[in-house]
Amino acid sequence: MEQVFATDLSEKQLQHAPRVSNVTYVTERAEQTSFPDQYFDLITVAQAIHWFDFDLFYKEVQRTLKRKGILAVMGYGLLRTEYSVSRIIDRFYTQIIGSYWDKERVYIDEHYQTIPFPLEEITAPSFHNIVKWNLSQLMGYLNTWSAVQLYKKKKQVNPLSLIEDELTKAWGAASNTKTITFPVLLRIGKLRN
């Protein structure tokens, strides 16, 4: 059985992770790990690289990745759905809560194409994550956005209340399901010789 090490800076996040026999969880920074040199065949980063100190992280990748190992950086971008709903979400994302996003969010908006990537890049296929959601599921997801949480904290009101009526009208019956598509962001590389 292959051994997997999962790291996160947040102990709380790791407490929510599923317990699997071949996965070991370690609380530490991606930029400074306790792993031996040339240890990993594969290093993955999911929806997190935009938070890293790039120079320190890539130094750690150089140290811990085996010579023929692979780094895969992935994430997901802004959802797409029917035009009438996407239009409202786009306005909400940029105009209502736009100034509440952390500055690092720009890397996601640019589909990770502007992050430093000092590896020999391997062309990645294009992927999308597709789900069927009702309005309640969509609203629940939007409510998880960090910019929504910061807006609520600063203004003491949920910004979703500013689009709820318009979104409900565009959605139709709350029980209706719609196809929601998330672009998957993916950069793959290997160490340069």
pLDDT at 121: 97
167 close to 85: Cβ distance less than 8 angstroms: yes
Residue 1 has pLDDT above 80, yes or no: no
pLDDT at 109: 96
Specify whether domain 31-190 bears CATH 3.40.50.720.
no
Q: What confidence category does residue 113 fall into, taking pLDDT thresholds of 50, 70 and 90?
A: very high
pLDDT tens for residues 54-103? Answer: 999 999 999 999 999 999 999 999 999 999 999 999 999 999 999 999 99
Strands 23-27, 65-76: pairing is: unpaired
Token pair in block for residue 173: 């019956």
pLDDT at 57: 98
How many whole angstroms separate alpha carbon 60 and alpha carbon 64?
6
Q: Which of 14-23, 116-125, 135-144 has the lowest mean pLDDT?
A: 14-23
pLDDT tens for residues 7-66? Answer: 999 999 899 999 999 999 999 999 999 999 999 999 999 999 999 999 999 999 999 999
pLDDT at 174: 83
Strands 178-190, 127-133: pairing is: antiparallel
Using CB atoms within 10 Å of the CB of residue 59, give its burial: 0 to 12 exposed, 13 to 18 middle, 19+ buried: middle
pLDDT tens for residues 150-189? Answer: 999 999 999 999 999 999 999 999 889 999 999 999 999 9
